[in-house]
Chains A and B, each alone.
Chain A
């Protein structure tokens, strides 16, 4: 599926117009007024006019491409029917996101932030706190509820590039009052339940489903497809393997190492997996018990 959009040709046009139009608008009042005091005043307002018009134009440019911000797996080829327009949306968003002073100002003023987000296709709640250096993209796919907090340098990754040239795009859902800690990374398709917390430096894989009131301590890695049910506590520096399922209320101690596909249903299951050393000892104990039982039967 190819797009009819001449993306490669549009990119320089958009970038240039994004700089030139706001610049012209910013200096226009300086030439429009005669008195010196008015010129000085217009000069003072020029950066403000530039910032606002720059953001507004970028956001308006993005509107035709909102419908291409959809979930799925696409080849990273700008001629592709979805990836091409997606590239254009990314261009507009990144023009604002990477213009740090402008982005910082937008994020500091909630009303302005909400307006800009809405223009970029955001449909979530407006009562949210996102640090200005937290990475977000694909705003139409951000399902953010009231009172969420995303700390500095966190990544809400609605897309992930793959080595085979594809890009995976999925929604990220942060339920009411949930928190993503400093430097934490959330992959596409994740859901963080109400009042749950991902600690500092946590890495949450693709399509991980985290329930309500879940506490994930710092530096925890959770592999793809894992399910953490409500009120689970994961200790610091733990690893939870691919598609593991941790039942409600389970507390994993720090440094736990849960293998791929494990189903932790009770707290006693945890002892089997807690640490690599403990697991080795458990295996040895089980082996010895089997030998003892078999000999006792003779």
Chain B
């Protein structure tokens, strides 16, 4: 929540700074033009003022400082907050300086009637700046305070000193109504902008939940490399609940509630052990280890083959450790979890794991794209998971069963809990060449322990 607030706040500040930069350049141009457009009414009150004497001070003291202010705000590396404060002070100061070019001196010493002529420009500028920048509330108050001290008080003093109370009242009334209206408008703009930013962030957070950690980082953190096509060796785990069709028909709604709880548990475990939930089909999960966090592809770099082989070995060791610890945790805890929902009913999992070459790539066309992992290992893990059904029929009842391919056992240090089962006579479907599999049964010892 704090992170979201920070992002909204930072986006609002950055937006205001961007508009302040743009406004600086616009004001630089407008103040230059004002030298031409104001000459008529200035000469009306002081015929000695020439066009040139009305232009060059405005260019030197207004246009140039506004241009430099824009450059500074754009290029400076100070924080957005500091940039806005500098901009507010500079704006009020330049505006104050502009007023001393003919207008205030004429009002003070020649004719106060000039003020209503300049007043229109003042009101216009105040509206453009407050409404245009629309800074966040705290900054808006800061701006008004600075503007009040640096420009408005001197303006009112000048008019008061000129001795025309009617003009003073008119200017003061106009300023109050304009500032109040623009203040409210600025707040509305700011609220709308905040709402839009919040919606964008919420949309991003909501989408991230469905996109998963890899795709969401690739899109929102601009880590496009994560979507690059990669071919590497990895572990693929396939798990399914045994007899789930019968159980669903038997328990109906209650089964669906259990299924939600089970899927939640698996998602937590996948996250905890650094895997990636690739697909779910019914109650079946396909999870990969060592693909999505493959890292940078260096296969095109010559001369580092030995180092790459060593790195590959380390990577697969870690992926194996993650995959088997994930399976252990899920299969050991599955039956107790099911017991909470279906007391007295034994529900088991069957799982298969294989290691092999897989390809990670974005598949599909146009607006229907999917980051997927494919390869023999994906199919094999599914067949091994199916194979657990055969083993259940061969006396492995009352246990969740893991079937490990010979390739996936390469990185297993401790195999004393596994049983080597020859596949002769009962080959793995589509993978008849697999001569044996390792089988681990997750008996109900944990249930007994939990029940005790």
Would you call B318 and A242 a contact (CB within 8 A)? Answer: no
Which segment, of A22-30, A56-64, A161-169, faces chain B? A161-169
Residues of the A chain whose Cβ atoms lie less than 8 Å from the Cβ of B343: none
Would you call B314 and A259 a contact (CB within 8 A)? Answer: yes
* B242 CB → nearest A CB, Å: 32
Within 8 A of B (CB), among A72-125: 73
Which segment, of B87-95, B166-174, B300-308, faces chain A? B300-308
* Selected contact of A168 from candidates B297, B301, B315, CB within 8 Å: B301
Q: Is the interface of A mostly helix, strand, loop or mixed?
A: loop
- Contact pattern, B 302-326, Cβ under 8 Å of A = 1, otherwise 0: 1110011011111100100000000
Would you call B307 and A206 a contact (CB within 8 A)? Answer: no
Would you call B77 and A242 a contact (CB within 8 A)? Answer: no
Binding site for A on B (CB under 8 A): 75, 77, 274, 293, 295-298, 300-304, 307-308, 310-315, 318
Residues of the B chain whose Cβ atoms lie less than 8 Å from the Cβ of A265: 274
* A152 CB → nearest B CB, Å: 21
Which segment, of A4-12, A39-47, A219-227, faces chain B? A219-227
Please, could you name 21 A-B residue pairs with CB atoms under 8 Å apart, sorted by A?
Answer: A146-B77, A147-B77, A162-B303, A164-B302, A164-B303, A206-B301, A207-B296, A209-B296, A224-B298, A224-B304, A227-B295, A241-B307, A241-B311, A242-B308, A243-B311, A260-B307, A260-B311, A261-B313, A261-B314, A261-B315, A263-B293
* B221 CB → nearest A CB, Å: 10
Would you call B298 and A225 a contact (CB within 8 A)? Answer: yes
A245 within 8 A of B: yes
A262 within 8 A of B: yes
Give Cα distance in the complex from A146 to B71, angstroms.
Answer: 13
Chain A residue with minimal CB distance to B76? A127
Q: Count how many chain A residues have C-beta atoms less than 8 Å from C-beta atoms of the other chain.
A: 30
Do A261 and B296 form a contact, CB below 8 Å, given A127-B77, A147-B77, A162-B302?
Answer: no
Would you call B303 and A242 a contact (CB within 8 A)? Answer: no
* A255 CB → nearest B CB, Å: 20
A177 within 8 A of B: yes
Binding site for B on A (CB under 8 A): 73, 126-127, 146-147, 162-164, 166, 168, 176-177, 189, 206-207, 209, 223-225, 227, 241-243, 245, 259-263, 265
Chain B residue with minimal CB distance to A188? B301
* Selected contact of B295 from candidates A162, A168, A245, CB within 8 Å: A245
Give Cα distance in the complex from A259 to B313, angstroms.
Answer: 11
Across the A-B interface, the 8 shortest Cβ-Cβ residue pairs? A261-B314, A261-B311, A225-B296, A260-B311, A147-B77, A207-B296, A261-B315, A242-B311
* A175 CB → nearest B CB, Å: 11
* Selected contact of A243 from candidates B75, B274, B298, CB within 8 Å: B298
* A289 CB → nearest B CB, Å: 14
Would you call B304 and A261 a contact (CB within 8 A)? Answer: no
* A78 CB → nearest B CB, Å: 21
* B302 CB → nearest A CB, Å: 5
Would you call A73 and B296 a contact (CB within 8 A)? Answer: no
Residues of the B chain whose Cβ atoms lie less than 8 Å from the Cβ of A223: 307
* B154 CB → nearest A CB, Å: 35
Would you call B75 and A146 a contact (CB within 8 A)? Answer: yes
Give Cα distance in the complex from A260 to B305, angstroms.
Answer: 12
Give Cα distance in the complex from A241 to B314, angstroms.
Answer: 11
* B269 CB → nearest A CB, Å: 16
* A291 CB → nearest B CB, Å: 14
Residues of the A chain whose Cβ atoms lie less than 8 Å from the Cβ of B298: 206-207, 224-225, 242-243
Residues of the A chain whose Cβ atoms lie less than 8 Å from the Cβ of B313: 261
Residues of the A chain whose Cβ atoms lie less than 8 Å from the Cβ of B301: 162, 168, 206, 224
Residues of the B chain whose Cβ atoms lie less than 8 Å from the Cβ of A189: 296
* A195 CB → nearest B CB, Å: 10
Would you call B318 and A263 a contact (CB within 8 A)? Answer: yes
Residues of the B chain whose Cβ atoms lie less than 8 Å from the Cβ of A147: 77
* A190 CB → nearest B CB, Å: 10
Would you call B75 and A261 a contact (CB within 8 A)? Answer: no
Give Cα distance in the complex from A168 to B301, angstroms.
Answer: 8
Give Cα distance in the complex from A126 to B313, angstroms.
Answer: 44
* B183 CB → nearest A CB, Å: 33
* B230 CB → nearest A CB, Å: 12
Would you call B293 and A245 a contact (CB within 8 A)? Answer: yes
* B414 CB → nearest A CB, Å: 10
Residues of the A chain whose Cβ atoms lie less than 8 Å from the Cβ of B315: 243, 261
Chain A residue with minimal CB distance to B296? A225
Do A262 and B302 form a contact, CB below 8 Å, given A207-B296, A225-B295, A245-B295?
Answer: no
* B217 CB → nearest A CB, Å: 11
Would you call A260 and B295 a contact (CB within 8 A)? Answer: no
Give Cα distance in the complex from A261 to B311, angstroms.
Answer: 4
* A212 CB → nearest B CB, Å: 11
